[in-house]
Amino acid sequence: MSDAASREPARDPQDLERLLIERQWAGDVEGMLALFEADAVVDSGEGELTRGRKAIRALFEKSFAAGRKFQRGEQRPALVNGDLALTSTKLPDGSITSEVARRQSDGTWLWVIDRYSVT
């Protein structure tokens, strides 16, 4: 999956979580980054916010180096209001993720905010 043109876009905000996990398990950092807006912010729970794709890439690469893998959980239905969507997943350990996605001009969805755990 190294060619960006061959990557499936998120046509629904519910697609984002599945695509992120599939790409992480495949070792596709660029594919993971393609699910975020250029100026997205991630709260990984490590104390500081990660802003922008360059910093998010470093966060993902650090996760790969540590051998951490995202787990599938029980994805909640997205709450959509116009071009914004709130997505969340209850993970196997009981924690809950929370994300905000925005519809792009081509109708696809990208995350703008990603919080790994709200509990």
pLDDT (tens digit, 9 = 90+) per residue, 71-114?
889 999 999 999 999 999 999 999 999 999 999 999 999 999 99
Mean pLDDT of 54-66: 91
Write out the residue range of the structural domain in which residue 47 sits. Answer: 10-115
In angstroms, rounded to a whole number, what is the distance separating the alpha carbons of residues 117 and 27? 22
| Domain assignment present for 2 | no
| Domain assignment present for 40 | yes
Query: With contact defined as beta carbons under 8 Å apart, do 23 and 31 qualify?
Result: yes
Q: Which residues of 43-63 are buried (b: 16+ CB within 10 A; e: fewer)?
A: bbeeeeebeebeebbeebeeb
| Domain assignment present for 5 | no
pTM: 0.90
| Domain assignment present for 1 | no
Distances (CA, A) of 78 to 6, 15, 99: 26, 10, 10
| Domain assignment present for 51 | yes
Cα 54 off chain centre by: 15
Count of domains observed in the chain: 1
* 118: pLDDT strictly greater than 50: yes
**How many percent of the chain have pLDDT more than 70?**
94
Query: Which domain CATH number covers 88?
Result: 3.10.450.50
